[in-house]
Amino acid sequence: MDGSGKGNLDQVKHVLLVLSGKGGVGKSTITTELALAFRHAGKKVGILDVDLCGPSIPRMLSVGKPEVHQCDSGWVPVYADPQQQQQLALMSIAFLLEDSDEAVIWRGPKKTALIGQFVSDVAWGELDILLVDTPPGTSDEHLAVLENLRKHRVDGAVLVTTPQAVSTGDVRREITFCKKTNLKILGIVENMSGFVCPHCSECSNIFSKGGGEELAKLTGSAFLGSVPLDPLLTESLEEGRDFLQAFPESSTFTAISHIANTLLNSLNA
Amino acid sequence: MQCENICDTTTLKIMQSELGITGKKESKLRHNIHVFLCIACLNLLSFLLDCPGTSSDQAGKSSACQGCPNQSICASGATKAPDPAIEEIKQKMTSVKHKILVLSGKGGVGKSTFSAHLSHALASDSSKEVALLDVDICGPSIPKIMGLEGEQVHQSGSGWSPVYVEDNLAVMSIGFLLSSPDDAVIWRGPKKNGMIKQFLRDVDWGEVDYLIVDTPPGTSDEHLSIVQYLSGAGIDGAVIITTPQEVSLQDVRKEIRFCKKVNLPILGVIENMSGFVCPKCKNTSQIFPPTTGGAQRMCEELNLPLLGRIPLDPRIGKSCDEGKSFLTEVPDSPAAAAYQSIVQKIRDYCASHSASDVSC
């Protein structure tokens, strides 16, 4: 791409990164659910999936294997809701792979180069919020995203953790990464926070309890809320269904909506 | 320096600082690093231009190479020469009988938990020497899970001394080199690779029966490096961890492709977090539902052994947080029984295979 990609983020009002030092805590899940919540609130949303080795978002939004087209400004994002008014745009390396089981076995420099293109050369158009889903860690992908977003305002990062110490231990390092790179921390989400047995309603703290809130206190960050372990949410993500539309009565819906509204308020403030 | 013709000065300075080069390095080291930097630049350019690639037979010789400032380096064959560290590591690893990697394409499935408990289980035989190497540079969980947080690594004449949990169980992790739990390791690929090379070459493991290597999720620098650096010494095989749901399996299939591409034998697959039995009513819930048949169907499709399924048990996470072995804390639980059965299969595999039989 030559300079034709310049300005692709000019009409994106807010950029929000979803980070965690730890793998498997639900970054992609929270990114997907926040995007759906923002869309239900009438916002135009984009998701940039920069997890090049394990891109999960396309499946969670039931997008399948569309072709990525080019236009004068660059790559056209894939819309997760083509029947509607293109309210949810998505870009992921999953769309560029012929075979979905193919491994992307790239070292840092190659990942950095593609992420640069993803950030600058996708013709997002007008968006209220662009969510960036990241892989775990504090390495090439994270540095590449921030370097390429330098010219554009980044509102901040949402950090996802599970309650247990093994998770919060890694997320502390991610908080340090945010501080070192001057990335504002919008808050911490504690995911997989308790499991209510559907048979007897007994609550089990499978991944411990309270770690996210403690971490927020320890590091002076905002605590955005807890999302419980919910097999209905996991199933919805497996099948690419909109959980928020399907299960609006659930406590998980309440938890996610609360977090989304808190974020919307802080972005508009 | 020739690289300055390709990289702008700022990029070059960042790469130099990431590799820790100062003006006081010996000129030979500086030359090797210059070649390395040139190779790193060229690898980036090869993605973007029509460069045939630094390892290609056409390196330095194709028409696309004309005018490239580093054409002569490629044409000399320097870019295709194997890293001398591979031979050094091969020599170091002659005292290590079996090497097992614990992999998963997916994060958070229980690689570190399994690596730690596999090590504990193997070390429960006091006649065996076990070593656990944590190459998750950005998110080192092993020190906490092994109850070794705050421990530091010491240097001796024979190299770095690992930290001992038991007399026969040694551990190495970048976590031991960090002075605070808040320290972030914000390194790009080349620096992570350098650390992994040091772990393999410079740690004084001594005589070891089993070296278990815990890895981060993905198929990137760390995975390529560990396979490359152990290519002379040989790896017995990889254990692949997954959880039952398709969101996990889709990443794990990529990891399995990676193993096949680099000729890494797969001992088998473990399905972790496989169902939860409510402690009150004893009903089972599939919190991570196997919507596409779970690990069993994947193993059938890919002709791989399913080593076992481990159920979700809150006491596992609690033990990890407290740095204790779940196998000792709750030995009668179904999860502990599942672990022991899987560990025995791994012992049996190692007994009937030798790392020198396979080459990556």
Q: For A81-93, how does the pLDDT look when each residue is reduced to its tens digit (9 = 90+)?
A: 867 678 999 999 9
Neighboring chain A residues of B285 at a CB cutoff of 8 Å: 195, 197-199, 231
What single-letter DSSP state applies at residue A17?
A: E
* pLDDT(B50) > 80: no
Please state, for a pLDDT cut of 70, what percent of chain A lies above it: 97
Q: Inform me whether the C-beta atom of residue B107 falls under 8 Å from chain A C-beta atoms.
A: yes
ipTM of the complex: 0.91
Q: How many Cβ atoms from other residues are within 10 Å of residue A85's Cβ?
A: 9
Which residues in B187-224 are b (16+ Cβ under 10 Å) and which e?
Answer: bbbbbbbbbbbebbbebbbeebbbbbbbbbbbbbbbbb
> Any idea what the Cα angle at residue B18 is, between residues B17 and B23, rounded to 5°?
35
CB contact under 8 A, B276 and A175: no
What's the rounded mean pLDDT across residues B321-329? 96
Q: Count how many Cα atoms sit within 13 Å of the Cα of residue B66 in the half-sphere of its side chain.
A: 3
Q: Inform me whether the C-beta atom of residue B333 falls under 8 Å from chain A C-beta atoms.
A: no
* pLDDT(B108) > 70: yes
State phi, psi for A47 to the nearest 5 degrees: -125, 125
Candidates B220, B318, B321, partner chain A, best to mutate (most A CBs within 10 A): B220
Neighboring chain A residues of B278 at a CB cutoff of 8 Å: 197, 199-200, 202, 204
Minimum Cα–Cα distance from B222: chain A residue: A107
What is the rounded distance in angstroms from the CA atom of residue A154 to the CA atom of residue A16?
6
Q: Where are the domains of chain A?
A: 13-268
Minimum Cα–Cα distance from A179: chain B residue: B184
Q: Inform me whether the C-beta atom of residue B204 falls under 8 Å from chain A C-beta atoms.
A: no
Neighboring chain B residues of A103 at a CB cutoff of 8 Å: 105, 219, 254-255, 257-258, 261
* pLDDT(B257) > 50: yes
The CA distance from B35 to the nearest CA of chain A, in Å, is 16
What's the rounded mean pLDDT across residues B224-248? 94
Orientation of helix B9-18 relative to helix B27-48, angle to 10°: 120
Model confidence at A269, pLDDT cuts 50, 70, 90, reads low
Q: Is the pTM of this model over 0.90?
A: no
Q: How many Cβ atoms from other residues are within 10 Å of residue B331's Cβ?
A: 12
- Going by their DSSP bridges, the two strands A78-79 and A223-226 should be labelled as unpaired
Neighboring chain B residues of A62 at a CB cutoff of 8 Å: none
CATH of A13-268, one of 3.40.50.880, 3.40.50.300, 3.40.50.1370, 3.10.129.10: 3.40.50.300
Residue type, B17: S
A116 is in an annotated binding site: no
Minimum Cα–Cα distance from A29: chain B residue: B247
B241 contacts: CB under 8 Å, gap ≥ 6: B102, B103, B104, B109, B110, B111, B114, B269, B270, B272
For position B356, what pLDDT does the model report?
52
Of B189, B177, B184, residue with least CA distance to B148 = B177
A42's tokens: 């009438």
For position A65, what pLDDT does the model report?
80
A13 is in an annotated binding site: no
Q: Which helix (H) or strand (E) holds A168?
A: helix A165-180
A64 is in an annotated binding site: no
Neighboring chain B residues of A111 at a CB cutoff of 8 Å: 220
How many angstroms separate the Cα of A147 from the Cα of each of A49, A128, A136, A177, B123? 16, 21, 18, 13, 45
Orientation of helix B84-92 relative to helix B189-202, angle to 10°: 40
Q: Inform me whether the C-beta atom of residue B49 falls under 8 Å from chain A C-beta atoms.
A: no
What is the rounded distance in angstroms from the CA atom of residue A188 to the CA atom of residue A195?
20
Q: Inform me whether the C-beta atom of residue A238 falls under 8 Å from chain B C-beta atoms.
A: yes
A24 is in an annotated binding site: yes
A197 is in an annotated binding site: yes
Neighboring chain A residues of B145 at a CB cutoff of 8 Å: 166
What is the rounded distance in angstroms from the CA atom of residue B25 to the CA atom of residue B21?
7
* pLDDT(B190) > 80: yes
Neighboring chain A residues of B184 at a CB cutoff of 8 Å: 21, 138, 173-174, 176-177, 180
For position B33, what pLDDT does the model report?
43
Q: Inform me whether the C-beta atom of residue B117 falls under 8 Å from chain A C-beta atoms.
A: no
Orientation of helix A165-180 relative to helix A211-219, angle to 10°: 30
Model confidence at A23, pLDDT cuts 50, 70, 90, reads very high
Q: Inform me whether the C-beta atom of residue A169 falls under 8 Å from chain B C-beta atoms.
A: yes
Sign of CA dihedral B154, B159, B164, B167: negative
* pLDDT(B315) > 80: yes
Model confidence at A207, pLDDT cuts 50, 70, 90, reads very high
State phi, psi for A127 to the nearest 5 degrees: -135, 145
* Facing A108 at nearest CB: one of B189, B257, B286: B189
What's the rounded mean pLDDT across residues A139-144? 93
What single-letter DSSP state applies at residue B25?
A: S
What single-letter DSSP state applies at residue B7?
A: S
Q: Inform me whether the C-beta atom of residue A28 falls under 8 Å from chain B C-beta atoms.
A: yes
Share the mean pLDDT of chain B. Answer: 85
Beta strands in chain B (DSSP E): 96-103, 130-134, 154-156, 159-161, 163-166, 169-173, 208-214, 237-242, 266-271, 276-277, 284-285, 306-309
What's the rounded mean pLDDT across residues B157-175? 95
CB contact under 8 A, B109 and A54: no
Of B151, B185, B155, B196, residue with least CA distance to B171 = B151
CB contact under 8 A, A53 and B105: yes
* pLDDT(B234) > 50: yes
How many angstroms separate the Cα of B268 from the Cα of each of A54, A177, B247, B300? 20, 36, 19, 12
* Facing A109 at nearest CB: one of B43, B145, B192: B43
Please state, for a pLDDT cut of 70, what percent of chain B lies above it: 81
CB pairs under 8 A between A and B: 211
* Facing B105 at nearest CB: one of A22, A54, A109: A54
Q: How many Cβ atoms from other residues are within 10 Å of residue B61's Cβ?
A: 14
Of B264, B229, B244, residue with least CA distance to B103 = B264
Beta strands in B293-338 (DSSP E): 306-309
- Summarised one tens digit per residue, pLDDT across range A225-266 is 999 999 999 999 999 999 999 999 999 999 999 999 999 999
What is the rounded distance in angstroms from the CA atom of residue B202 to the CA atom of residue B296?
40
What is the rounded distance in angstroms from the CA atom of residue B117 to the CA atom of residue A246?
40
Minimum Cα–Cα distance from A138: chain B residue: B186
CB contact under 8 A, B44 and A60: no
